[in-house]
Structure 1
Amino acid sequence: MEVATYRLKTVDMKESRLRWYTWDCVGRRNAVRRRHIFDLVFTATDGATGKEVRDLVSSVQFLSKYGWIRPVKWEEDSDPNALPSATNNQESRDVFDGVQEETFTARKLESNSRGNVNDKSSYVMALKEFQRANGLRITGELDEATKAAMNRPRCGVPDKIAKKENLTETQQQTSYNEMPIVSNITTLNNSEAVIRKKRFWELLMPPARQKRSLIVLGEMRGMTFSKRTLKWRLIGEGYSSQLPTEEQRYIFKLAFRMWSEVIPLDFEEDVSSPEYMVDIKLGFGTGHHLGCSQKFDGDGHEFAHAWFLGDVHFNDNEHFTAPNSDNGISLLKVAVHEIGHVLGLPHIYKTGSIMQPNYIPQTSSVELDSIDRKNIQQLYGACQGTFDTVFDWVRKERNSYGEWILRFNTYFFRASWYWLYENRNNRTRYGDPISLSLGWQGIPKEHIDAFVHVWTKTKDATYFFKGTQYWRYDNDNDKAYLQDPQGDRYPKAISETFTGIPNPIDTAFYDRRDQNIYFFKNNYVYAYDINKNQRVNGYPKRINEVFPAVVPGDHPFSNLDAVYFSYSHNSIFFFKGMHFWKVVSDKDRRQNPSLPYNGLFPKRNVTEQWSDICNVHISMLRMN
């Protein structure tokens, strides 16, 4: 069983769980586990009436507005260029007059384009579905718990949006370019909207802005960016009056990095290009702001609003605070939610999701839930890439009772960066990747060929290999030895210690079963006996001779990237390119004796087993 350990020391880059970096006056990076508390008093009201959900009338308004009675044609209803219709307003009043008198079956009730209610059963069904989505007791009655759920602060986007049918891709793109996503508690009345011919950002956009891709996510059609590097900017006229400008930019960089750590998108801050070349612009404002068609209405109501593949505006009347603050509204949490909308995500009804429609006071650090990661990867795919080496780092520690226990962490090295992999959560640690030079002192700064941990009853030594040399690592002091307790100085030549082994090598691993180190070079493998300090007789051999394919022809054959024994899976894995092969284990052979010893099961994509090992833009990597 894996036991993860996290020491909250700035210098201990391998084990400390890097939640979120915060900014102080000298730009230092600190690991924090602070609570983010919304200390404002929220009043959730209906956008059309400005009243809380208290009774049957207002509950019908709520369910109709957010698509529970009938999916909302959001791209039409949300068009800021559409003037209010007197006819529709009269129809809306008729609906609620009828509901108030409880005459569902006495007359046909109609609403405007936000939905309609033909009878009481439609209302009850919608209410039950809302209760189910919110984890409430499903009664079909407007009880206190249901009213409380409806009155929570929430985003203004409907939870159920009508699919657009019979539209060309161009029409769909145009329609979604006009789709606002308003994270609010009080939605503006149509009469208060500012009517404009063009959105502020459209005025800056050339006709040939990048192509968008249309993707279906569940019941919702969404748009995705087709290019892989997106530029963002905190616009000059949109700085907040509450936080230092550098802190604002730093928090937004963290928010973009959260998404970059789970999908193959790079986010680059661009402070110099013409604004029409910036993909995502962010800014703060109050009331009528930044030339936007939506108006912010004081504080405690609307935190922010955003558009699919568009921009994000934040209400500067709100008390936004940094991630390490114990009060106010976490700007990081709001920004991550809004960027999720910009990238194409709808609302997700799951506790813990950053995309849930309600803004809920947080009792832990802001994180992407597994469902957030899964849904965004449906839109943009999973990250892929090769690795220089992969290994489990095992060490002994005493527990609180003074007993020796073994702990391990899994690491992936690529170029000059590394990731700690949380096997229990099936994801990388937040805040990774980190520079090798910061986390592993004294070893080469990039392109490590192999990691070997020799571990017997009498030996416990850790080695890194690169080129023609190798380094011994001091686990206790977390740095490479210059001279070990035996008096050996490092780095040393591979040929000086491991006679008969070629160098440089492709990769290597230590097999505890036979206490041999297996070195791989091209299409050959060399076995080295650590007890006799010599190459095993009969080696080198072809890799597919020692590790035969279970399915003929399905084998890496040569030039492996990495081989490692996983304590989490109790198996050996071969890596090459974007694929891995699992080695037949003793347990596998007990279950199926026909399997060959050390056979390789058919290849699988690395992303099927290890998720979210993503590169991030160089500007994001230099945050520590």
Structure 2
Amino acid sequence: MLLSIRPSLFAILLPLLLSRHLPTAASRPAPPSDTWRSSDRFMDAERGTHVAGLSDLKRYFSRFGYLPEPDPDANPTDAFDDRLETAVSLYQTRLGLRVTGKLDAATLAEITTPRCGVPDNATLAPSRAHSVGRFAFFPGEPRWARSGPIVLTYAVSPTATIHYLPRGTVEAVFDLAFARWAQAIPVQFTKTANYESADVKIGFYSGDHGDGEPFDGVLGVLAHAFSPESGRLHLDAAETWAVDFRRERSAVAVDLESVATHEIGHVLGLAHSAVKNSVMYPSLSPRTKKADLRADDVEGVQALYGSNPDFSFSSLIESDTTDSGSAAARRGGGVRSSCMGFLLVLVLVIVI
């Protein structure tokens, strides 16, 4: 059943659909002193309402490549016009959702899920023919090029850090994430102590940090990375980053290894995939671990770099065919699915 968007009800229903139940600030580690620039911004992030109406929705679609950048001198309206319907249909197509052109429950659930800040390249179709996968590349298919074997160095910033995870712990997570990709392609990743000379520079930043892609606080955008050969990989310092959900009990905790593995895919040249269980799918719910490469991820990166001679698809194919129960078992609890909220709103629509 689709949620019919009626102008008279929309202003009441959309905030209910888009809101999340978040814990108080006291239930998670305090952010670094420079994380919050104002109390108003903190309250917005606490409610989790990064998209609160159709005008915000239009800005969301502009940010992620589904609508043109808005005129800075004009305010987006709350009209559900033909352009927005086209954007919704394109969004549904690119994210592997049922294409309805309507703001149905599944689409709104995806919009309100925390995600990567890299645009979805909505107009970019995968440029290589393949039978099942729906991986994509950045325009022009950029990749790292070396005269000999490709060896990329990486380093975590000594200054752009978070206080509650030791540097060694963060490095260990990235060691694992780089190793996952190295198993599939003939690219070697080497950690270096020289941050300035590293090919891939990793850091945690807050708000506007000088790269033209400001972070937006708790949840919303989690991280972003740039296509080859930039090597910049940035994570939002406002998030509660976790390496073990048994230790980190915050309801808004985000798995660092899952996001690291995803962003390394961008560093290598992969855009977002439409395969929901792939690492390169753009969104990730709190307290969810999704760090294992899937067949779609591997096919995409191997299209850019070729295959590691020792790599075998058998284990990936096996993991791709397992049911979703194993993924659910890895969830650490905390944030509940927003489906109950959508069901409640659907009942309200029926009653009204």
TM-score range for the pair, normalised by the shorter chain length: 0.5 to 0.7
1:292 positional shift: 5.2
1:363 positional shift: 5.2
Superposition map of 1:115-514 within 5 A: 120=82, 122-160=83-121, 220-227=139-146, 228-272=150-194, 275-287=195-207, 294-308=213-227, 309=229, 310-323=231-244, 325=246, 327=249, 328-361=253-286, 366-384=291-309, 423=314, 425=316
Please name the residue that 2:71 is paired with. 88
Please name the residue that 1:437 is paired with. none
1:236 positional shift: 1.7
Please name the residue that 1:200 is paired with. none
Which SS does the other structure have where 2:222 is aligned?
Answer: strand
Is the contact between residue 42 and residue 301 of structure 1 (CA under 8 Å) also seen in structure 2?
no
Deviant stretches of 4+, over 6 Å? none
CA 1:331/1:88 → structure 2, altered by over 3 Å: closer, same or farther?
same
1:231 positional shift: 0.6
Is the contact between residue 337 and residue 355 of structure 1 (CA under 8 Å) also seen in structure 2?
yes
CA 1:142/1:151 → structure 2, altered by over 3 Å: closer, same or farther?
same
1:313 positional shift: 2.2
Is the contact between residue 42 and residue 153 of structure 1 (CA under 8 Å) also seen in structure 2?
no
Please name the residue that 2:18 is paired with. none
Cα distance in 2 for residues equivalent to 1:245 and 1:219: 31
Which SS does the other structure have where 2:71 is aligned?
Answer: helix
CA 1:362/1:329 → structure 2, altered by over 3 Å: closer, same or farther?
closer
Q: If the length of structure 1 is used for normalisation, what is the TM-score? A: 0.37
Is the contact between residue 203 and residue 233 of structure 2 (CA under 8 Å) also seen in structure 1?
yes
The one-letter amino acid of 1:43's match is: G
CA 1:307/1:352 → structure 2, altered by over 3 Å: closer, same or farther?
same
Is the contact between residue 114 and residue 222 of structure 2 (CA under 8 Å) also seen in structure 1?
no
Cα distance in 1 for residues equivalent to 2:221 and 2:315: 37
Q: Which has the larger radius of gyration?
A: 1
1:245 positional shift: 2.0
1:67 positional shift: 2.6
The one-letter amino acid of 2:168's match is: E
Q: If the length of structure 2 is used for normalisation, what is the TM-score? A: 0.62
1:293 positional shift: 5.2
Deviation digits for residues 386-442 of structure 1 (CA, Å, limit 9, x no counterpart): xxxxxxxxxxxxxxxxxxxxxxxxxxxxxxxxx8x67464589xxxxxxxxxxxxxx
Please name the residue that 1:193 is paired with. none
Cα distance in 2 for residues equivalent to 1:350 and 1:358: 11
Which 5+ residue runs of structure 2 have no aligned equivalent?
1-44, 125-134, 320-352
1:265 positional shift: 0.5
Which SS does the other structure have where 2:141 is aligned?
Answer: strand
Cα distance in 2 for residues equivalent to 1:254 and 1:306: 18
Deviation digits for residues 125-173 of structure 1 (CA, Å, limit 9, x no counterpart): 432333344454433223343323222222222222667xxxxxxxxxx
CA 1:376/1:354 → structure 2, altered by over 3 Å: closer, same or farther?
same
1:316 positional shift: 2.6
CA 1:323/1:132 → structure 2, altered by over 3 Å: closer, same or farther?
same
Deviation digits for residues 342-367 of structure 1 (CA, Å, limit 9, x no counterpart): 11111112111111111234655620
Is the contact between residue 305 and residue 314 of structure 1 (CA under 8 Å) also seen in structure 2?
yes
Match of 2:66 among 60, 64, 68: 68
Superposition map of 1:14-29 within 5 A: none
Is the contact between residue 95 and residue 273 of structure 2 (CA under 8 Å) also seen in structure 1?
no
The one-letter amino acid of 2:236's match is: N
Is the contact between residue 90 and residue 122 of structure 2 (CA under 8 Å) also seen in structure 1?
no
1:259 positional shift: 0.8
The one-letter amino acid of 2:48's match is: T
Matched, 1:43 2:48: yes
Cα distance in 2 for residues equivalent to 1:292 and 1:160: 19
Which SS does the other structure have where 2:201 is aligned?
Answer: strand
The one-letter amino acid of 2:293's match is: L
Is the contact between residue 184 and residue 298 of structure 2 (CA under 8 Å) also seen in structure 1?
yes
Which SS does the other structure have where 1:224 is aligned?
Answer: coil
1:258 positional shift: 1.0
The total of aligned residue pairs comes to 256
Deviation digits for residues 491-546 of structure 1 (CA, Å, limit 9, x no counterpart): xxxxxxxxxxxxxxxxxxxxxxxxxxxxxxxxxxxxxxxxxxxxxxxxxxxxxxxx
Deviation digits for residues 432-467 of structure 1 (CA, Å, limit 9, x no counterpart): xxxxxxxxxxxxxxxxxxxxxxxxxxxxxxxxxxxx
The one-letter amino acid of 2:166's match is: P
Query: Among the aligned pairs, what percent are the same residue?
Result: 28
CA 1:58/1:304 → structure 2, altered by over 3 Å: closer, same or farther?
closer
Cα distance in 1 for residues equivalent to 2:113 and 2:244: 22
- Larger helix percent: 2
Is the contact between residue 233 and residue 280 of structure 1 (CA under 8 Å) also seen in structure 2?
yes
Is the contact between residue 115 and residue 284 of structure 2 (CA under 8 Å) also seen in structure 1?
yes
1:229 positional shift: 0.3
The one-letter amino acid of 1:303's match is: L
Please name the residue that 2:20 is paired with. none
Q: Which has the higher contact order (CA 8 A, sep 6+)?
A: 2
Cα distance in 2 for residues equivalent to 1:352 and 1:67: 22
Deviation digits for residues 35-86 of structure 1 (CA, Å, limit 9, x no counterpart): xxxxx978362xxxxx42x44x4444433443335xx6xxxx7xxxxxxxxx
